[in-house]
Amino acid sequence: MENLTTRKVEIRPVRTEDLRLVYELEEQSFKDPFPNYFIDQLADANPETFLVAVYRGAIVGYAVVDDWSDHQHLVSIAVRAEYRRREIAQALLDDVFERSRPGPLRLELRRSNHEALQLYRKNGFRETGIAHSYYTDGEDAIQMEKMIEKKSEILAPA
């Protein structure tokens, strides 16, 4: 399967005109999608860490990180079904890591979402707990965390 991220997929901050397509992607991707107003709030509050993946002018994925007082929180990441397994989620995560401030980056995912669990583990997230009956249908969530570390620039004396 083609790896789209190498040249053809652009990762950029979400724009107001993208939100309608993000709503559709959210609806298609999750059993209990976030309401549109909540996505709007996330976009307003996180202009640098609400990202979209664009392929040939179409939104094919998105990720959003919300900045909390003691950590950053990966609220959601989704890729259109027909574009999955093409490294788009990885490209979104790579950009998230670049934009995140140092410290903990946390998330929850459905216990049954084995593909996402594998992706997060591969990227250095570790399991920190279980949130019982976290989702509206009663499914548990696995809680995960990754420490974001930024390398300091070392300036040579002139």
pLDDT value at residue 85: 87
Nearest to 58 by CA among 8, 93, 97, 95: 8
Interatomic CA distance for residues 148 and 96, integer angstroms? 10
Question: Which residues does 148 contact at the CB level (< 8 Å), separation at least 6?
Answer: 72, 97, 100, 101, 102, 103, 104, 105
Per-residue pLDDT reduced to its tens digit, 133-150: 999 999 999 999 999 987
Across residues 21-45, what is the average pLDDT?
A: 94
pTM attached to this predicted model: 0.86
**Fold exhibited by the domain 9-148:** Aminopeptidase (3.40.630)
Closest CA to 30 of 92, 88, 94, 110: 110
